[in-house]
Amino acid sequence: MEIAKVNQGIDLKDYNDVWIIGELIDGKVHPVTIELIGEGKKLAEKINKKLNVVIVGHGVKGITERLLHFGVDKVLYIEHELLKDFNTEGYAITISDLIKERKPEIVLLGATSIGRDIGPRIAAKVGTGLTADCTKLEIDETDGKLLQTRPAFGGNLMATIICPNNRPQMSTVRPGVMAKAVHVDYAGGEIEVINPKISKDDLRVKLIDKIVSGKKRVNLIEAKVVVSGGRGLKEASGFRLIQELAEALGGEVGSSRAAVDAGWIESPHQVGQTGTTVRPDLYVACGISGAIQHQAGMHESKYIIAINKDKNAPIFEICDFGIVGDLYEIVPAMIEAINEKHFLEI
């Protein structure tokens, strides 16, 4: 097998257009795809190029048509029956072949379990750099290069990464960070169906089963209210109290990394640099000191409430309202006050 190489002195002018690699889950478009279209559109306008969305799948023409309502110039629909379900190699081969053929200037993927799985594999096939988990994308006014900003060291540091001599410039972008593209009634652009060269032998990993967990899926990203617990809970059972407050406020349960590391709660609940980024209207941090790595995942919440014993905890620097005290006294009192209030309103 020929391994791709970087820094081969390519002519950057041969590369045009901004591509979004769309993501479908159970026949639905992942919200991050719409966010990427919104962001990609801004970037494409800056460099005066077109915005295309790549969709990989089988029998999802209806979806490709719907995407045209978000202001994209073209949907590149890679259609093949072997691509019905997500498959690393199937997706990586067909997308990278198309990139090599069409030469986009910028390629964006969602920093989801799928984007972060195929992104590096595509970059390695194409021979270019990839910047993971970006939270900000800008165009350098002087030379039009893409400035990809991402947190590092658990969010303690922000780094702006460039990919100066190779194309496309590829990034995975954190879900929930970019503003979604606006849906318009008018469907512009066109759909081009691509018939990829791919055979069964290319897919060395075979899907044999899919288990959709019986438990309610944690949906932190779209939650309006997130109530999180951390080390200050002292034990796993503390999450029952967090759950009660979350229910009273109509929100989801989140957690700090410390609580996940302690085994008190499963990792899908984790908010922060290594977990999920949330931007709810209300974020309640209970017994969370607010290490920078946690802040990275929640500091853009509209309102932040902090409850902590330690008045010097960094969480109090970024909260809107803080209470210094024992969460085991304060949270039950809050639940009571909220429930009383609901009662009065009925």
Q: How many residues bind another protein (CB under 8 A)?
A: 103
Q: Which of 65, 222, 247, 317 binds another protein (CB under 8 A)?
A: 317
**CA 196/CA 176 separation, integer angstroms:** 31
Two structure tokens written together for 108: 């964006």
**Helix, strand, or coil (residue 238):** helix
Residue span binding another protein (CB under 8 A) among the ranges 60-68, 176-184, 186-194, 326-334: 326-334
Q: Is 163 in the site for another protein (CB under 8 A)?
A: yes
Residue span binding another protein (CB under 8 A) among the ranges 58-66, 177-185, 192-200, 301-309: 301-309
Site track 233-272 with another protein (rule: CB under 8 A), x = hit: --x-------------x-------xx-xx----xxx----
Contact of 291 with 308, CB cutoff 8 Å:
no
Contact of 312 with 338, CB cutoff 8 Å:
no
The 10 Å Cβ neighbour count of residue 82 is 16
Angle between the N-to-C axes of helices 238-249 and 327-345, in degrees from 0 to 180, rounded to the nearest 10: 30
The 10 Å Cβ neighbour count of residue 125 is 18
- Residues 91, 120, 275: CA angle, nearest 5 degrees: 100
Q: Is 11 in the site for another protein (CB under 8 A)?
A: no
Provide, rounded to whole angstroms, the least separation between the CB of residue 82 and another protein. 15
Residue span binding another protein (CB under 8 A) among the ranges 11-19, 35-43, 131-139, 185-193: 131-139
Q: Contacts with another protein in 281-300 (CB under 8 A)?
A: 281-282, 291-293, 295, 299
Residue span binding another protein (CB under 8 A) among the ranges 12-20, 69-77, 99-107, 305-313: 305-313
Angle between the N-to-C axes of helices 115-126 and 88-102, in degrees from 0 to 180, rounded to the nearest 10: 50
Q: Is 63 in the site for another protein (CB under 8 A)?
A: no
Provide, rounded to whole angstroms, the least separation between the CB of residue 92 and another protein. 8
